[in-house]
Structure 1
Amino acid sequence: MKKTLYKWFLRQRERNAPISGLILKEKAKYFHEKLYDKNSTFSASWGWLQKFKKRFGIRFITITGEKLSSQPELVSPFLRKLEEKIKDLNLDYHQVYNADETGLYWKLLLGKTYVSSEEKTASGRKTAKERITILACTNVTGLHKLTPLVIGKAKKPRSFKNSYIPVHYKNSQSAWMIAGIFKEWFKEIFVPEVRKFLKKQGLSEKALLLLDNAPSHPPVEELLSDDGLIQVMYMPPNVSPLIQPMDQNVIRLTKLHYRSMLSAMVVANKSKDMNVIIKQYNLRDAILNLSRAWNKLESATIKKCWKNIFESQNNDDREDTIPLATLRQELLSLNSIVETNLNLLEEIDPGQDFECGDIEEWNRDDFVEHDENCTAVSKDSETKQDQDQEVSQA
């Protein structure tokens, strides 16, 4: 059965299909049922998955599909166009911004997602679906991190009553970004906050916001300050995973910090059942932790996330003037939060064997999208006839 599963895995990778741990486990149960006893109690446990990955050298089983469809040949023309735009507007790095959205399953613990088919009523499957959207935005220097925008489903969450909320909050039916909310954010939040920052820096109140071509982003002509000094420029399709600064590390590190705080909360309440702790964890708690995670990002870290757009800005002589040990420490610090998450998860569930790749998969929230139909293989999922043919060929 393991060889059959591995052959299937290789075929999917040849197609560049994204494969998560949950998909591998469900596929293993499918093959086991076809090849052996339908009444078998085989559950493709987490421990079994770790042994399978180790045996066949599968260390990272989740890929970022966006990069596969990217078009690197469009990057250079766009960067030349951006350089000309910055010169025409006479902007410096304080005045160039990027904004991007990400989803966050704010109650999700890693151990709550990888469950067997016998555990469909577990509370973890329900809480994993409680989702918000976060809009992150900074300038090139990292000195201006705009207050995050959070989008939830509830118009007036009960947990917000009589409480200070350190973010901007909006609601939509699906908790996704929509064009109306984005336009409102640009006019009522982005423009005023940018003007305030630039005025404090003694700069002209001109700015440029870089965006990707998400359907929820309105046309350029609808995103313009009243005086025309603050403008928007769209990146070409299929290049944002390669160069968009918020995608390079800003969002990733913010979510990793958030995950660490969520895990630490569970560890700190060992006297309570984990399900009870998660149930009592509300949207206000999540937003407070998200705000703390956002505030942990340092300007130097943000600045490095723009290197694919402004390579020269990060390739100065700084490396020649500081000790090698300091440079090494800076490099290690970028991944230290991953190790923190590993340690916390091992405290929460000592029986699990977590790896760095599992933390990254958890942090992307990608695998939760398969939660609605955990037998799905990929967006290009095979038919039942194809699956049966694979078993007969094994």
Structure 2
Amino acid sequence: MASNFPPTSSGAPPKKQRSVPTLEEKLDVLDLLKGGTSVDSVARKYGRNESSIHAIKIREREIREAVASSAPRTAKVTSQVHDKALVKTEKALNLWLEDMNRKRVPINGTMLQEKALSIYAMFKPPTEEGQPSDKKEFKASQGWLNSFRNRFNLKSVQTTGEVASANEEAAKAYPEQLKEIIEERGYLPEQVFNADETVLFWKKMPTRTYILKSEQQAPGFKAAKDRVTVSLCGSAAGHLIKPGLPYRSANPHALKGKNKNLLPVFWQSNKKAWVTAATFLDWFHKCFILEVKQYLEEKGLDFKVLLLVDNAPGVISCFKATYTRLTFSRILTAMDADPNVNVMECWKSFNIADCITYIKQAMDAIKPETVNACWRNLWKDCVNDFKGFPAIDKEVECIVQVARQVGGDGFVDILEEEIEELIEGHRETLTNEESSRENSDSCQSPCFSRKNNQQQLLELNQSQPLHL
């Protein structure tokens, strides 16, 4: 009988690639078996041997524990880790890694090992003085790193530094490649958009103010760590789209009874207040496309759009500086209106509805020329007489003046450097403690992910269907 496989140089058929089922598939198999489906029926359904299905059944407890312990369902290895401190460490480490990916910070194997040791030291139970430890010391070895990558299916974690130089080379070549695309397809500045996301700790204050000091001293009172993610998007001509705003609650008390469709932001909910693939696509289809169509119709232009994802630092800095100034002005205005109101009361009453109001005002304060200037590194030919971002410096000066009028510990002698640090502080990453407190069960892959330090491109026009 003729072989179904093409002959190799040795005359033997090539080996069939072994397909390892994911945790999600294993869980489905277990659920079917638990529901009464026979082993042979499950084997036929998934195209596997009955012995493989029996093996999954035997390891049911281990598999279900792996899923319950927040291992991603795309993971293919369910190795058990018996050190409870290490289990907690790996959960926190995976969350920290997702945070780094969301912020587009490149991570290699060495960095992962160092971070793992740092987190483990926090979870490791103390050894009583004079008593030897009965556990082998965790060293974050290369073997552990390989196992961790397999358990959490971390295909993208680099173990060498070679990718960094390649990314830099790709980034240098990107503007010229973008220019070729724009010129070849005839895009106008009004038709080219750039979207980026930024974290906003919407109640944060400088570290020396007694507001933050009081917050740190009050157990469970951590409102200044409450964050939203603001998705900003503007055209090369300077037009801004309604920002997306994922928040941890779908219907917070401050917005109950309000029509979310009438808000000046595109309201979304996500337990981590992050932009995920789902929230991005929701904003893209229900907000971006509709607003851009209307904008281009008003301009008398065809609906032909190029959307770049990433890289709008100028707009983000201007937005955060203006937002910060508005929050300081709110405190001063409230105290002027009622002499019996103190700074802490003003700060505690600040809610997500106020935050949205100030996001809108901060967006309105960004001038088209500022948005246009942000394209100087990507498409310098469209930038009109770039003169820097003086608005940021003016906002910082204004914030200092307002803070000194507010008065009190940490306000009366506040410095411009502290305000600049506060504005930059919105970009801070999760600490070990914050990583350990987050519930990694609800983690989703971030949408804004760079490849070779380049922006993702989405092209739309009237004659072609949209595929993402």
TM-score between both structures, scaled by the size of structure 2? 0.51
Of the candidates 326, 341, 354, which is equivalent to residue 261 of structure 1? 326
Of the candidates 145, 161, 174, which is equivalent to residue 78 of structure 1? 174
Letter in 2 for 1:196: Q
Name the SS of the counterpart of 1:110 in structure 2: coil
Of the candidates 267, 273, 280, which is equivalent to residue 349 of structure 2? 280
Letter in 2 for 1:134: V
Task: Determine whether 1:174 maps to 2:272.
Answer: yes
Letter in 2 for 1:355: L
What residue is the counterpart of 2:282 in the other structure? 184
Of the candidates 302, 306, 316, which is equivalent to residue 375 of structure 2? 306
Name the SS of the counterpart of 2:222 in structure 1: helix
Q: CA RMSD in A?
A: 3.0
Kept in 2, the 8 Å contact 1:99–1:136? The answer is yes
- Count of aligned residue pairs for this structure pair: 262
For structure 1, which segment, 109-118 or 267-276, has the greater mean C-alpha deviation from structure 2 after superposition?
Answer: 109-118
Of the candidates 402, 417, 420, which is equivalent to residue 357 of structure 1? 417
Task: Determine whether 1:197 maps to 2:295.
Answer: yes
Q: Deviations over 1:209-236 (max 9, x none)?
A: 1114xxxxxxxxxxxxxxxxxxxxxxxx
Of the candidates 393, 413, 419, which is equivalent to residue 335 of structure 1? 393
**Percent of residue pairs bearing the same amino acid type:** 28
> Matched residues in 2 for 1:313 and 1:276: separation?
47
Describe the shift of the 1:114–1:363 C-alpha distance in structure 2 as closer, same or farther (beyond 3 A): farther
Aligned counterparts, 1:1-394, within 5 A:
72-111=168-207, 120-122=216-218, 126-142=222-238, 144-163=239-258, 164-212=262-310, 244=311, 246-247=312-313, 249-270=314-335, 271=339, 272-314=341-383, 332-352=390-410, 353-364=413-424, 365-366=426-427, 369-370=430-431, 372=433
> Matched residues in 2 for 1:268 and 1:371: separation?
37
Letter in 1 for 2:370: T
- Residue ranges of structure 1 left out of the alignment (5+ in a row): 1-68, 213-243, 320-326, 374-394
> Matched residues in 2 for 1:347 and 1:265: separation?
12
Letter in 2 for 1:304: A
Displacement of 1:341 in angstroms is 1.1
Q: Deviations over 1:121-168 (max 9, x none)?
A: 3389611111111000000010x2101111101111221134452111
Displacement of 1:110 in angstroms is 1.5
Q: Deviations over 1:280-305 (max 9, x none)?
A: 11101110111011011110111111
Bigger CA radius of gyration:
2
Describe the shift of the 1:304–1:92 C-alpha distance in structure 2 as closer, same or farther (beyond 3 A): same
Describe the shift of the 1:294–1:116 C-alpha distance in structure 2 as closer, same or farther (beyond 3 A): closer
Describe the shift of the 1:267–1:190 C-alpha distance in structure 2 as closer, same or farther (beyond 3 A): same
> Matched residues in 2 for 1:251 and 1:84: separation?
27
